[in-house]
Structure 1
Amino acid sequence: MMETPTVAELLDIIRQLTARVAALEAENKALREENTRLKKRISDLERKKNKYVAPHSREERQADPQRPGRKAGQGNFTNKQAPGFVTNEINVELPNRCPTCEFTGELTLSHFEKASVTELPSLPRVEVTVYNVPVVLCPQCGKKIRGEHPDLQAGQWGATAHRIGPRLEATIHTIRHEVAVSERKLPRVLELLLGLRLTQSAINQAASRLAGDESPLAKYVLELEKQLRQAAYVHHDDTGWRMGGEQAWVGAYRSEDVALFKVNPQHTSAELRAVLGDQFQGTLVCDRYSVYDAKQFAGMSQQKCLAHVIRNISDVAAQVKGRAGRGLAYLLRLKENMQDALKVHRDFQQGKTTERQFRFLSGLTRGRIHRLLSRTDLRTPESERLRAGLWKQEEKGRLLHFLEHPEIPPTNNAAERQLRRVVITRKVSQCSKNKRGAETHMRIKSVVETARLRGRDPVEVLVSLSR
């Protein structure tokens, strides 16, 4: 028969249990803090793994790093090539003293060396031409009649009598759209380079006159749109914009030699159809956004961006990592085969393989990807969702279309590159106040970017369209 513990013994047991609970709580708190620290460490490492880090951004420096710069006896030994033209030439006087041995007298001429200094004038000046326009009165009706000159625009009198010339205007717009300088900073740039003072409103009004609805530039953009519809392939992507503070979208269309930009308050299939039309016979290179799967595009040849697909696979692989099952192994095999498809196409484009070899390797790669995408035994929801989406595009012939037609690019990088300056402009400005300003901006940008694609000077193209 158990003895009943005394009060003193019970109090001692309570003290021991209390001390034990306190110790466990302290240990639990320390473990929770350690767990939080390790989770943050894992998150940081995973983020760094997926993020490009320059060599100089290491957390710890190397003990014995390689010296910067070229190695002795290798590489190009000149910092700057000789200029292509010379505006002034100076003959340097012959030295008459040797700094090594202190000899003074006539030295023997060995040869001449060339050295040059490229410099700006102290302050470049613009040319200002004043036109004395005669104003006469009609003796019959008393109406004022002004003289005309080819260099003067219609209505150039009164508040708008003093304007900038076509070449200066074209240069301003080229700086604005090619270098992505904000309209607010353009006056300061012009003052620094040319000593010219212009207001932001003067630049804005010049753009409106250049790219108005009935202007030669607007008609030229319509012609570019027609050329785009006849292209063998067209890249398309869009990014955000604002008109009057409201959400809008800029669509970039890019063929081999045409760049077109359109701004709309929304980005649906209607906007895409308005540009490409119903008779487009080329291939649309795009991502897997649902707009491109609309019914009106059911018969359109498409190539989904494989760079986006590989990125999607990597994202899903990061989600399923560490889970039970074969989901991660499946995704890694799928990613590897997608990368192989890109390599097969790249090697053929670079002339490393013949057409026969390309067709053979393409068939092998397509077969492996087809077998992976046709599987129906995946248990991981994320993997199955991705597989079903890719299989849908593969059944329509939109995933590996470039392996059948190697002239079609496998990625949509061209459209994304076209949008980079648009994104920069959006970040350094307030976009557009209204639809007219947005359309003006996109028309000029279309002309400038198309000129760059065709190897032409955007300034000369804009000058030709301003007359």
Structure 2
Amino acid sequence: MSGLEELSREELIALARALAGQVGALEKENGELRERVARLERLISRNSGNSGMPSSGDDLPGKPQPKAKPAKGGKGGKRRPGKQPGAPGTYLAWSYDPDERVEHFPAGRCGCGADLAQAVDLGVTARHQQIEVPLMTAATIQHDLHTVACECGKVHAAARPEGVPAAPVSLGVNLQAWCVYLMVAHAIPVHRCVELIASLTGAVPSAGFVHGMITRAAKAVEQANVRIRALLTLAYVVCCDETPIRVGAAKAKRYLLVACTDRYTWYMLGDRTLASFKRFVIADLSGVIVHDRYQNYDSPELGERDHQLCAAHLLRDLEDCAETYPGAAWPLQIQTALRGLIHAANLAREQGKDGMHAGTKAMWINSFRHGVRIGLSEIRRIPGPAKTVTQPIGRVLLEVLRDREADVLRFAHDLRIPPTNNQAERDVRPAKTQQKISGRLRSQTTTEHRYAIRGYLSTAAKHGADVMTAIRNALLGRAWMPPDPTPA
């Protein structure tokens, strides 16, 4: 404070005002830093248990692990490996019509010195069946097309067999089907596909030929995908989802959109813009859409329809609220009510009933509504326009639960509607697996072809068709077609 005594009253006032301005600036900066730290802490706290992040991100440095799920039996609530309670069992069944029988006799000599080959056969005393696959070796099959002359003088030439092109030497349709299957169904890169086929069969197709099979197969299943898309538009309920994928340039990010049921799968490569969603199948759907609350699904430009908001996403958002407000009871109450309704709906569906028990449904819905009201009373809305005011964590979620209760609980009133879009999550997972294995996809056109084939194969598998047969027949010009839906 040396020298302050020599300052005049006016100078001291000016100095105090300057210091007050600096303090105000520091307080403002400190407040901004606190908000920034809070945002960063919240960002770091996101994981697969309290947000839509994939579980693969839980292992990133600094990420907290998701909380353990409620115990469902067993010690500590941990799921045992192998078959789960209630899951259908599998076993190796005895075949009464084996493909091959191999007779085995004792060989060598008896202790008395006699040759056992001359011994009396007393019959079979033990039988053992083993399921085995033959060793695959590519065989070169030459097709000699003969020409014959009839007595009348006409000459007739033999036609090429199905699947044999006009080229002098070609790869058979079975090998072609293996190439498509390995690349599309199992995300095996082209050169590794060549190596794998060479190891398994001895045939060595070129990398260019193998890569070209994606385009050929996509063209072969084109009409099947047209039919799949048309049948989806007629479905009573459709699950939708989207996931980012890297296509083309190293930093180019697109989105793979999927619309599916337990019978059909259809993919489209696009982005998360409304223009892309207009090209998506959603605009033509007539049934209920199950989705993750992304805003484009609710756009009036896509038409009016019924929605089911994914309960799995809602439960994760509520888990975020439980972690943000550890002393609040409403997040757990709403979670418990949602899980109770899901369990009751699944149980009624398994028992072949048209709906869940009325008393059970009323109890859980009442608990759900009370939890929402309590949450709204504790997490107050901040007045102001949405673009400039950030609402407290959980406030917007609670308003969705209140204002869109019909879309949240639609599954509880109609058992045909699933509570989650897990079907879409499963159908979009191959794209995430592919990126882990191969990284980005080099061409947008090839990516579109890849998922056209994938949608065809997924739909065929859902109908119980053999995938390899579906590929082979498509390459022969006889693509598998989904049958007409059974009337409800």
Q: TM-score, normalised to structure 1's length?
A: 0.69
Structure 1 distance, partners of 2:144, 2:273, is: 51
- The share of aligned pairs that are identical, in percent, is 18
Q: Which runs of 5+ in 1 are unaligned?
A: 1-42, 59-67, 70-75, 99-105, 135-146
Deviation at 1:237, TM superposition (A): 0.9
Amino acid at match of 2:255: W
Q: Which of 67, 85, 95 is the equivalent residue of 2:98?
A: 85
- Whether the aligned pair in 1 keeps the contact of 2:94 and 2:129 (CA below 8 Å) is yes
Deviation at 1:128, TM superposition (A): 3.8
Matches within 5 A, 1:240-389: 240-245=244-249, 246-264=252-270, 266-276=271-281, 278-297=283-302, 299-321=304-326, 328-351=328-351, 354-355=353-354, 358-375=357-374, 376-379=376-379, 381-389=392-400
* Deviations 1:36-67, CA, capped at 9 Å, x for gaps: xxxxxxx99962634899xxxx9xxxxxxxxx
Structure 2 distance, partners of 1:358, 1:351, is: 12
* Deviations 1:289-325, CA, capped at 9 Å, x for gaps: 222222224622111111111111112211222xxxx
Judged with a 3 Å threshold, the aligned counterparts in structure 2 of structure 1 residues 356 and 403 are, in CA distance, closer, same or farther, namely: closer
Structure 1 distance, partners of 2:182, 2:196, is: 9
1:391 aligns with 2:402: yes
Q: What's the counterpart of residue 484 of structure 2?
A: none
Amino acid at match of 1:218: E
| More displaced 10-residue stretch of structure 1: 341-350 or 271-280 | 271-280
Secondary structure of the corresponding residue to residue 231 of structure 1: coil
1:210 aligns with 2:228: no
* Deviations 1:250-289, CA, capped at 9 Å, x for gaps: 112111311111112x123333332325442201111122
* Deviations 1:388-435, CA, capped at 9 Å, x for gaps: 2332432xx211111121111111111111122221111111443222
- Whether the aligned pair in 2 keeps the contact of 1:378 and 1:384 (CA below 8 Å) is no
Amino acid at match of 1:49: K
Q: What's the counterpart of residue 412 of structure 1?
A: 421
Structure 1 distance, partners of 2:307, 2:403, is: 13
Q: Which of 65, 73, 76 is the equivalent residue of 1:47?
A: 65
* Deviations 1:349-391, CA, capped at 9 Å, x for gaps: 1118x54653342233223323332453113732323312332
1:235 aligns with 2:248: no
Deviation at 1:181, TM superposition (A): 2.7
**Alignment coverage as a number of residue pairs:** 375
Secondary structure of the corresponding residue to residue 318 of structure 2: helix
Deviation at 1:150, TM superposition (A): 6.1
Structure 2 distance, partners of 1:122, 1:226, is: 42
- Whether the aligned pair in 2 keeps the contact of 1:348 and 1:355 (CA below 8 Å) is yes
Secondary structure of the corresponding residue to residue 181 of structure 1: coil
Judged with a 3 Å threshold, the aligned counterparts in structure 2 of structure 1 residues 432 and 112 are, in CA distance, closer, same or farther, namely: same
1:176 aligns with 2:183: yes
Structure 2 distance, partners of 1:79, 1:403, is: 36
Judged with a 3 Å threshold, the aligned counterparts in structure 2 of structure 1 residues 358 and 298 are, in CA distance, closer, same or farther, namely: farther
* Deviations 1:196-240, CA, capped at 9 Å, x for gaps: 11232211112212323xxx4212211111111111111111112
Q: TM-score, normalised to structure 2's length?
A: 0.67
Q: What's the counterpart of residue 455 of structure 1?
A: 464
* Deviations 1:67-125, CA, capped at 9 Å, x for gaps: x99xxxxxx9x995556733341222289879xxxxxxx99969611124555545522
Structure 2 distance, partners of 1:193, 1:458, is: 19
- Whether the aligned pair in 2 keeps the contact of 1:174 and 1:448 (CA below 8 Å) is no
Structure 2 distance, partners of 1:79, 1:256, is: 25
Q: What's the counterpart of residue 167 of structure 1?
A: 174
Q: What's the counterpart of residue 137 of structure 2?
A: 124
Judged with a 3 Å threshold, the aligned counterparts in structure 2 of structure 1 residues 406 and 465 are, in CA distance, closer, same or farther, namely: same
Deviation at 1:241, TM superposition (A): 1.5
Structure 2 distance, partners of 1:464, 1:131, is: 24
Q: What's the counterpart of residue 226 of structure 2?
A: 222
1:434 aligns with 2:443: yes
